[in-house]
Amino acid sequence: MSPFIKNTSIYTIGSLLPSLVTFLLLPVFSKYLTPEDYGIVSAMETLTYILAIFFTLTLERAAYRFFFDYKDDIQRKELLGTLFISTSIISAILLIILFLSQHLVQKIFSTIPFTPYYVYAILSCFLTSFTLIPSAYLQVMERAKTFIIFKLGNFFLNTILSLWFIVHWKEGAEGYLKAGFIAALLILPTYLLIIREFKWKFHLQWAKDAIHFAWPFIPTLLMAWILNLSDRIFIERFLSLHEVGIYSMGYKISMIFFVFTSAYATAYHPTFYKLANSENQEIAKQKLKRYSFFSIGGYFIMGFMIAWFSNELVTFMLDKQYNKSHEIIRLIIFSHIFAGIAGMTTSLFVLQAKKSKENMYLSFLTGGTNIILNFCLIPPFGIYGAAIATVATLMLAFIIQYEYSKKCYFIPLPLREIAIWTISMAIILSIYHFWLEQWFWVAFGSKIVICGGVLLYVFINWNELKMKLS
């Protein structure tokens, strides 16, 4: 097995395992965390996402980009030392500013006290910022096992502490956030052992070059934050922490879509670029068009199955106080489908033409649209308005990006089929939601029978389907 395939396998397992464990623990968290508690946890996760951007100014990305510009091992280690010192100074300054201006910071989620919730979240993010450059070092040195051991160690330590504080001591949201802080504090020394390999010579010009390279990532990440997480702020402001918790739980379960599709996307991207840069573009585009069709169909099937069985997932897995979250899953899954499709089609078309700046402009448009829709839809429609805003934004972004990609490396997509599948999926889910699921076991039984019939058809016609996919 080649080192690349071996490392890829290690990273894939290391990424999927925490997602799987988190998903399996949702029944425990739903029992011991009220929707208000889960709303606080989700709000603080929203806060730490944006704080993480500014604690390091994304300088860890410069480590990946500039490390191999230097052939000399000493210069490489001086670069890492320079970046670590830079992020340490930036993080310390921001930490001081946050605590000095705590009354302003607390207004982000006005119903959540600064102490202890903001304190634990901010300190956890601050400590984590010291691990990013060492983590980047492990990756560029292809020390995948060490990287994953540290990552999984942090995850399982955090999980064990969370269960201890939530289940044993019944500390709710405070216990969950406290566990994150203690885990970050305990794991930090292991990362500090790695930085002993750095050279502690600070190069001001290198730091400036790194900041110049890294800062364009900040607007794009901020727009991603607006699109994926800012709706929690609107829900907390216009509704309540209880509704934040219900919405966040539904959103969390719906993310299982990306757990299954991210591995496929990781494998598909190199294939796309290999074909897109091949000499015979006629054959390449024919293959990519066929791959796109079946990939889009697969994304719809995956998304539909998650949405279709969302009522059963929530009923069997979660405490009854989260029953309403399955309705959010059914709405938000449409946004995941279109985001997934764009990630392996239109986004790649634009990036193949090296139009990364245009992608940034699209992220600004997407983020702005999402803010406006959240502001307009959440007050009258509640958490359903937040979900609808996200779905509408992602659909609009897909359409705009598709139209723009006609000026780039363009491959026609089956828009007619996409429209038919979207409408059909909406109709079937509506029929079950508003009618058949009034009889829980009848609906559940019919789903099992239909799925069994489809699997039997695939099994019988597998050779023919495999030929079409090849």
Sequence-distant (≥ 6) Cβ neighbours of residue 441 within 8 angstroms: none
| Nearest-angstrom CA–CA distance, 231 and 281 | 42
54, 264 in Cβ contact below 8 A? no
pLDDT digits (tens, 9 = 90+) for 65-95: 788 888 789 999 999 999 999 999 999 999 9
pLDDT at 1: 53
Q: Does the pTM exceed 0.85?
A: yes
pLDDT tens-digit series, residues 16-29:
788 889 888 999 99
* Residue indicated by tokens 């510009």: 69
Tell whether the torsion through CA atoms of 83, 184, 145 and 196 is positive or negative. positive
pLDDT surpasses 70 at 266: no
- Residue 2, pLDDT score: 53
Contacts of 391 by beta carbon, 8 Å cutoff, 6+ apart: 331, 332, 334, 335, 338
**Between 328 and 469, whose confidence is greater?**
328
Domain ranges of the chain: 3-215, 220-437, 439-470
